[in-house]
A = this chain, B = another copy of it.
């Protein structure tokens, strides 16, 4: 079988990881596109024969190219994805799908019309940690969820700003932490707890004045199944963990018959308190179970899934259509920050 030929468009932090994953999966990274020739060159070194360019149109004109992998700033996802679809190229696009719902709709339409795969690279959905949480909740381990708490925190170090300066630009990032982090977390909540129907959000006083978007914001949620939730998105969390460079990702759900807590990103630990205990050694005891989920490379998993979908013609787990919703939830949160009112879904 012929190897999939892909152009990595945008060779920054995410693009470099995707490129490595494509190479590891046996795909051919035919093009490394970046305005910065050094960054494109670094990606090109992974395989023999990768061409470098500053203009993605060169790659789209390549008749042997099967797919594009868009790892650009959020405002550029839609225009380039639409153009790629018109050239008949399959599309893997970094999260969020786009900067606006109108852009997302155009992308979805263009891909449908061209008959190409449009997959959003929402890597955290592939995390075995959160899939295990989903499985436990779905198996009834804690009963019906009632209260959800989700926290994403890190500290905005200068090194991060240097590596991803576009992040400080509200237009390029289509917002701040609620966009970049929240879009992950809303989708994980949808996977684990169910649909979110209303969002209230507030923005903390800005700590980092060189960042235009929110560096810390919070949200209060209502779910279709009646559960309520709280969410924190913060670049201001300075503690021993984050100071050593690890993001703090925690999820906690109280259900009618138990509780579950998870900490980690692409692996980590789950603490389950469940009444469903079948082990006779533990009967009649107040006890918790700690489950360790080893780290995996979620970028590898999502790229592998994309390759499979392109090859076999299947629909991705994270289609454009399904990934429109977490964007919509983030936009609802921003509207609530502006108005101090709850915003119900879907957006008008």
Contacts and interface: CB of A to CB of B under 8 A. Distances in A.
A278 B204 CA distance: 29
Contact of A282 (B227, B281, B289): B289
A274 interface: yes
A64 interface: no
B146 A236 contact: yes
Interface string A304-348: 000000000000000000000000000000000000111000000
A279 B281 contact: no
Given A239-B259, A276-B279, A288-B290, A202 B226 contact: no
Contacts of A256: 207, 236
Nearest to A151: B149
Nearest to A285: B291
Copies in the complex: 4
Contact of A254 (B132, B141, B236): B236
29 contacts: A132-B285, A144-B205, A204-B228, A205-B226, A216-B228, A218-B228, A234-B254, A236-B254, A238-B257, A239-B288, A240-B286, A243-B273, A243-B292, A244-B267, A244-B292, A244-B294, A245-B294, A271-B290, A274-B281, A278-B278, A279-B279, A286-B291, A286-B294, A287-B289, A287-B290, A289-B289, A340-B342, A341-B342, A342-B342
- Nearest first, the 9 A-B pairs at minimum CB distance are A243-B286, A205-B226, A244-B292, A278-B279, A240-B288, A287-B291, A288-B290, A220-B220, A240-B292
